[in-house]
Copies of this chain bind each other. A is one copy, B any other.
Amino acid sequence: MFVTKKMSFSAAHRLFNPKLSEEENREIYGKCSNPHGHGHFYTLEITVKGKIDERTGMIINIDDLEDVAKKEIIDKVDHKNLNLDVDFLKDTIPTMENLAKKFWEILKDKIPKGELYKIKIYESGNNYVIYKGD
């Protein structure tokens, strides 16, 4: 049994690898490497796997899951610049893939009941990544 909480946040980012030249960055990331950055409305889905607790009929109280995700992730990235404002993203190119991996690492030991199963991030309505750990 799997339960999922969907949340969202707005953030700016620039895709840019400082070890590469301007030209290489432009070639890899196209308009996503524009110097002043651009923005996205991200959707984050956090899925927890577990058994139904007979007493509550729930795997986990989804409000508790939301509280953890809000405190550990959303409050740190919402209305921020992902290249400049977020401690745990320092030295990380803020692609969807890297966000998913970082969010997984942050959340995997903080789920109050059940275990973290999946992180899904939509960068737009048409692009998303899924990470289930290694």
Q: Is there an interface contact between A28 and B56, defined as CB atoms closer than 8 Å?
A: yes
Q: Is there an interface contact between B79 and A34, defined as CB atoms closer than 8 Å?
A: yes
Q: Which of A1-47 contact B (CB under 8 A)?
A: 1-7, 10-13, 15, 17, 19-20, 28-32, 34, 36-41, 47
* CA A56 to CA B12, docked complex, whole Å: 18
- Looking at the assembled complex, report how far the CB atom of A94 sits from the nearest CB atom of chain B, in whole angstroms: 8
Q: Is there an interface contact between A59 and B97, defined as CB atoms closer than 8 Å?
A: yes
Q: In this complex, what residue of B is CB-closest to A47?
A: B130
Q: Is there an interface contact between B80 and A38, defined as CB atoms closer than 8 Å?
A: yes
* Copies of the protein in its oligomer: 6
Q: In this complex, what residue of B is CB-closest to A15?
A: B57
* Complex interface: chain B residues within 8 A of A12 (CB): 12, 36-39, 81
- Looking at the assembled complex, report how far the CB atom of A37 sits from the nearest CB atom of chain B, in whole angstroms: 5
Check: A107 CB closer than 8 A to any chain B CB.
Answer: no
- Looking at the assembled complex, report how far the CB atom of A78 sits from the nearest CB atom of chain B, in whole angstroms: 7
A residues touching B (Cβ–Cβ < 8 Å)? 1-7, 10-13, 15, 17, 19-20, 28-32, 34, 36-41, 47, 52, 55-59, 61-63, 78-81, 83-85, 92-98, 100-101, 124-131
